[in-house]
Amino acid sequence: MGPPQHEGIPLQPLKPTPVFPLSFAFSPSNFLAFTVLCSPALLAQLPNPDLKTVFPQGLQAGTSTEITIGGSELEETTALHFSHPGLTAEAIQHSATDYSPARPNPLRYRITATPETPAGIYEVCAQTRLGLTAPRAFVVSHLPEKNHGTNHSPETAETLPLDSIVNGHADNTAIDHYKITLAQGQTVHLRCQAQVIDSRLDPTLVLLSPDGHELARDNDHSTHNRDASITFKAPTAGTYLIKIHDVTFGGG
């Protein structure tokens, strides 16, 4: 007797379905391809240039100064760009040697501010082969400026002229010292700018009398500003000592 019929269509006996081992369906080559496509370790991305430091971070209008920049991926910096046309930058040249000619130093620049540049805080960014960095603050003033030296003890305190600016940075675990000469009854305003120029420094400002007694101390200008300032009227004539350091001695 033959196979059963259904509506005139012959039914064929079922054939066994081939069963393949799992390794055949997901061969090592297929698994490797899946790994290559999805592995986050193989997602390529160009590094980002990062301008972290500029020192000194300002100058007086109508003058020039040499600055050094620091950060990451800045070795091929070709130019600095400012947010005000009165500020320009010129790369300082590496000296020629027996093995290489003179060439621009990508981390050293001579900055010039025209006399007409208004006092204020501007932005500077570095042009690299990987693109522009995020901006940092750069300050123009109408007061004489100088850069600090070695002043980590009262004996090496630097003289701070009235109506002037000192560009400095605080080293870890160190205190910077300055001295200022005042007449009796003379009033001075001392201010340490850090937060407003993107510095990580949280400054502590201390004023001592000519005989070494603490007269004033400030850490935060306000609840929204961690910079420090002191306004002081000298009770006697003499040389007063100023100390500046990071509140946690972390530098900045």
**What pLDDT score does 96 carry?**
73
Q: Is 80 helix (H, G, I), strand (E, B) or coil?
A: strand
Same domain, 158 and 69: no
Domain count for the chain = 2
Q: How far is CA 4 from the centre of its chain?
A: 87
Q: Are 167 and 56 in contact (CB under 8 A)?
A: yes
Q: What is the domain extent for residue 242?
A: 146-246
Same domain, 123 and 99: yes
Residue 175 lies in a domain: yes
Same domain, 170 and 228: yes
pLDDT digits (tens, 9 = 90+) for 152-207: 999 999 999 999 999 998 888 889 999 999 999 999 999 999 988 988 888 999 99
Answer yes or no: is pLDDT of 252 > 90.
Answer: no
**What pLDDT score does 228 carry?**
92
Same domain, 110 and 161: no
Output the domain CATH number for residue 110.
Answer: 2.60.40.10
What's the token pair of residue 57? 């971070």
What's the token pair of residue 103? 């060439």
pLDDT digits (tens, 9 = 90+) for 229-238: 999 999 999 9
Residue 23 lies in a domain: no
- Write down which residue in 141, 157, 177 finishes a domain: 141
Same domain, 229 and 242: yes
Report the C-alpha gap between 133 and 89 in whole angstroms: 16
Closest to 112 in 3D by CA, of 68, 148, 66, 147:
66
- Write down which residue in 141, 168, 198 finishes a domain: 141
Same domain, 157 and 242: yes
Q: How confident is the model at residue 147 (pLDDT cuts 50, 70, 90)?
A: very high
Same domain, 88 and 158: no
Weakest-pLDDT range from 35-44, 123-132, 208-217: 35-44
Same domain, 177 and 233: yes
Same domain, 223 and 133: no
Same domain, 54 and 89: yes
Answer yes or no: is pLDDT of 102 > 90.
Answer: no
**What pLDDT score does 61 carry?**
98
| For range 134-160, the mean pLDDT | 94
pLDDT digits (tens, 9 = 90+) for 50-61: 999 999 999 999
Q: Which residue has the higher pLDDT, 110 or 149?
A: 110
Residue 15 lies in a domain: no
Residue 25 lies in a domain: no
Q: How confident is the model at residue 23 (pLDDT cuts 50, 70, 90)?
A: very low
Residue 109 lies in a domain: yes
Same domain, 95 and 175: no
E-only strand ranges, the chain = 5-6, 9-10, 50-55, 58-60, 64-72, 79-82, 87-94, 103-113, 120-128, 131-132, 136-141, 145-147, 158-159, 165-167, 176-182, 187-192, 203-208, 214-218, 228-233, 238-246
**What pLDDT score does 4 carry?**
52
Residue 200: phi and psi, rounded to 5, are -80, -10
pTM value > 0.85 = no
Residue 42 lies in a domain: no
Same domain, 82 and 100: yes
Output the domain CATH number for residue 192.
Answer: 2.60.120.380
Residue 136 lies in a domain: yes
- Write down which residue in 87, 122, 141 finishes a domain: 141
Q: How confident is the model at residue 151 (pLDDT cuts 50, 70, 90)?
A: very high
Residue 162 lies in a domain: yes
